[in-house]
Amino acid sequence: MSLTVVASATKAVIIGFDQPFCVIGERINPTGRKKLAAEMIAGNFDTVTADALAQVAAGATMLDVNAGVTAVNPNETEPPLLVKTLEMVQALVDVPLSIDSSVSAAIEAALKVAKGRPLVNSVTGEEEKLEAILPLIKKYDVPVVAISNDETGISEDPDVRFEVARKIVQHAADYGIKPEDIVVDPLVM
């Protein structure tokens, strides 16, 4: 049975069928949270701090960190904001982190400063995403969440989602990424 290991600087979490359930706190995400997005743009991280501490206190074993606050020049604006947010959260809590961004430059910037072995959230079956994200996964030797959608979107057919997941795992193997470093999100509908 394969086990996926993620870690902070001081704590490891093992993801696997025979392991305790891994609870990933998802509150540090400005998507759909206008107040949080405005705070982060203004350099105010009070809510980020409160959310990080509250989620760990509530039992989160990992925290997802996202800084996608703007569609205006995300390749320029998101990397430094994600790095700042990630460093702040790492200083507050000792749980492993999940780096969450649709901007590959932001993911790489965060991976450069991440302590331990974070999870990258995520890669899809879209060719462009596979070619942008999988080399980073290999370079930094970190696990990744595989989202079962591709250029056609999210299929209602579970067999199609399974095939997309298979495609991601096969592409990852082409990069020398171990199967246990792929955490498949089947997008149950």
d(CA 94, CA 61): 9
Kindly indicate the confidence band of residue 1, based on its pLDDT and cuts at 50, 70 and 90. low
pTM: 0.94
pLDDT digits (tens, 9 = 90+) for 100-152: 999 999 999 999 999 999 999 999 999 999 999 999 999 999 999 999 999 99
Kindly indicate the confidence band of residue 186, based on its pLDDT and cuts at 50, 70 and 90. confident
Counts for the chain of helices (H) and strands (E), in that order: 6, 8
> How far from 146 is each of 89, 95, 151, 162, 169, CA to CA, in Å?
24, 21, 14, 11, 8
Give mean pLDDT, residues 33-43.
Answer: 94
By percentage, how much of the chain surpasses pLDDT 90? 89
Residue 48 has pLDDT above 80, yes or no: yes
In the 3-class helix/strand/coil scheme, how is 141-186 assigned residue by residue? CCCEEEECCECCECCCCHHHHHHHHHHHHHHHHHCCCCHHHEEEEC
d(CA 118, CA 137): 10
Quote the Cα angle for 118-54-27, to 5°: 60
Kindly indicate the confidence band of residue 70, based on its pLDDT and cuts at 50, 70 and 90. confident
Rounded to 10°, the helix 104-113/74-92 angle is 30
Kindly indicate the confidence band of residue 73, based on its pLDDT and cuts at 50, 70 and 90. confident
Contact 141, 118 (CB under 8 A): no
Contact 38, 146 (CB under 8 A): no
**DSSP letter (8 states) at residue 117:** B
Show the tokens assigned to 54: 């509250």
